Structure 1
Amino acid sequence: MNRATRTVNVTILILLVTTTVSGVLAFAVGSPGPARWTTGVHGVSGLALLLLLPAKARIARRGLRRPGRSRKVIGWVFAALVAAAVGSGVLHAVWGWGPVVAGVLPMQIHVGAAVGVLLLLVAHLVVHRRRRLLRRTDVDRRRALLGSGLVAGSVLLGTVTPGRERRATGSHEIVDVAAMPVTQWLFDPVPRLPQAGVRTPAGDVDLAGLPQRTVRAVLDCTGGWYSEQEWRGVAVADLGLPRGASVEVVSATGYRRRFPAAEAGSLLLATHLAGRRLSAGHGAPVRLVAPGRRGFWWVKWVVSVEVVDEPWWWQPPFPLQ
């Protein structure tokens, strides 16, 4: 393997790791400030991969002349997944969050392809773990300038890509409440619950008998859309919960998310959206509103609010059920 090939391969490896880490962070971060950085790094590194495709294609063509059919198949599958991940990311920016084929969203293609790339990358590194990725002589002024040009080119490409008006998280805006998608975890059916009450450590609570608050908050779904609406309900802090390290909100489906006890004042158990009672698809009769957090924190079909001693961060970072 010559120096140019090693440089291209290592650069692609660095970019793949960068896009993976920044992509995970972009899903997790809901605040506009940090989200702008994570999404920006994710986009720049992804577009840099796009700019490196011609160089990688030349390397792949040389590899076709070598024996070993399985390696060729893996290589082409890897290249196809990278192209699908980058292409669907660009499609999300240009097309929007809506389905492209068979109800599948660009963001779903993006994440699925990225997971496939990550699995093949780990397998490739394990197989070639004894191979030296980069030598000291591979790094010189010329390649440093080329690397700087690659970053500058990807930034420039990002500035001319349509969809720059999206939110800092990369999501597209939905203004009309009626157009907000009804989403749930995979194939879970929509529960039909009788009344707006929740269980607490002190017993069942009828939310209609507690002080009502109205907040304007942004629901930013990891599917690629967001909507700023008015939500009305009861603050978690008004439930009279005992002291504890964390507050855990539980859905009728078994899904749950844990929050710092200090955030109880900002969390809202909503019963109304835009002046109307919640529909079943949007989480009726009670849905959690968690301002500043991504959509998977906004627990639907809330049936209980618990106080636990475990820290809020001691839970899976993303939904697993």
Structure 2
Amino acid sequence: MQHRVDEIRQLSDRELWRHCPGRLNPADLPSRGTMASALMDQVLWWQEPDFLRESTTNWPTIEVYDLNHEAQMEMVKNITPITLSLVSMSSTFVCQSIKELIDSKKYGGLNRLLRVTSYVIRFIKKCRKQTDSFDPFISRSEMNQSELLWIKSVQRSFFDIQEVLRCKGRLNNLSLYLLSKNPAILPLDDYFVKLLVLWAHWNVKHSGVADTLTYLQERFWILKGRQVVRRLVKSCTVCCKLERPSYSSVTAPDVPNERVSDQPPFTHTGLTLLDPCIFQRRISLRKYTYVCLLVRQRGLFILSSPQIWE
């Protein structure tokens, strides 16, 4: 379509173009929701506009206002900024605007938030022609870059600093990861911190407050971290299901009168049939026993026939 427009512009002059109002333009009928059945009765759809049959002096015109230099400067001065920049002219990311571009509360997990942020960064780099990668998958380095961008954004909104604020200790000579020796400081009242705690709680397989806090402190130091972790772990649905108390045992009923009465043995009995017994002559005999319900004595008898009525 752009090539056709360029060709028309090259073959025609600007003075030959005229304006056609929307109410007289047949092409505007379908684009404004006119049904196909209604187009059968539209005269404008089947014929050209009436002004085309008249002289060009009677054709509709559009008024063009010639603005002076002061009016144009005033229009530029009062323009409303609606575009937020994520990258600066030096191709470095501006961390204070990421929270305005991406609403973290729309995402229920940390990994999903970081993937979306990585795709946004990749799109901006492609628009600035800083990368030619067409890999559909997000790499680990891109996820780390997105995480660092969110950490800077969260810290800047609370501490008003430019770089990442980290804890300084006396373990710099220890052979540990840099983030473990100097964890990043994070506030407690931010949704990104909530996603971070839930992500750590999922990685430790819902092990509890102590394990979740230990896993977090390997890279981050959250202000009042135990209080934050305890509040979020308490609201975890999986933990609530696993830590729910077991069902209480049913109270056993009282012993029947036949079991505790002072009567002779075999006054109250129960009948039990046993499996057939095969002897040396391969004769199968069925046995049955009477069980006394009072003193637990048993009487064993041989059943002559397997018929129940006998």
TM-score of the aligned structures, taking structure 2 as reference length = 0.18
More strand by share: 1
Structure with max Cα Rg: 2
